[in-house]
Chain A
């Protein structure tokens, strides 16, 4: 069965640089969620989109923005990167009218 696809899988950036993470949901899933997981921590919700509209906003810094496109893929844009942004970034997707979220493999971001 198709799963959530994230790219890139690993990303190394310098402080103050920008990064773009991409997420391709499971086919026919119309809701996308972004989570950040620091070392030894549980996933923290950042933002979600349903039918290309932002539906929820969590602890996402103002330096970050995201959007969902017509093909339902989503991109997380991160600017003015800080050392503390180093983490695993997961995208999850779910079908309509379901709370079950399926996670992608994640993007490991390292900020030097």
Chain B
């Protein structure tokens, strides 16, 4: 079992809909969670981070964290075709001494006009 898991997709949603991306992690002590967006052939771009249980909103993006269930999600409201990309969940695992991030495999999102 991977330490950070995501459904690889593709997740297809119509333009204007809400896209829901999910991620689970195995290390219960993990404290920091990040969502990166990566367009094909480009570098990962940090779009959200969350440290506390609950919701965190930034524009059209909402990150949700449930440490009891070891689950973090990203909601994208009013999805646009330009949101089509791979979304990487990254976790700073508690059992790591330093600040390395462990990535999930990514979920490919396709927003159809």
Residues of chain A whose beta carbon lies under 8 Å from any beta carbon of chain B: 31, 33, 41-45, 48, 50, 55-56, 58, 88, 90, 94, 99-106, 108
Q: How far is the CA of A101 from the CA of B44 in the complex (A)?
A: 10
Chain B neighbourhood of A106, CB < 8 A: 42-43
Q: How far is the CA of A88 from the CA of B32 in the complex (A)?
A: 25
B: interface residue count bin: 20 to 34
Contact with A along B74-108 (1 / 0, CB 8 A): 00000000000000100010001111111111100
- B106→A33 contact, CB < 8 A: no
Q: Is the interface of B mostly helix, strand, loop or mixed?
A: loop
Chain A neighbourhood of B103, CB < 8 A: 42-44
- A42→B104 contact, CB < 8 A: yes
A/B interface sample: 6 pairs, CB < 8 A: A45-B101, A55-B98, A99-B32, A101-B99, A102-B46, A104-B43
- B102→A45 contact, CB < 8 A: yes
Cβ of B49 within 8 Å of any chain A Cβ, yes or no, is yes
Given A100-B49, A103-B44, A103-B45: A56 touches B101 (CB 8 Å cut-off): no
- B100→A45 contact, CB < 8 A: yes
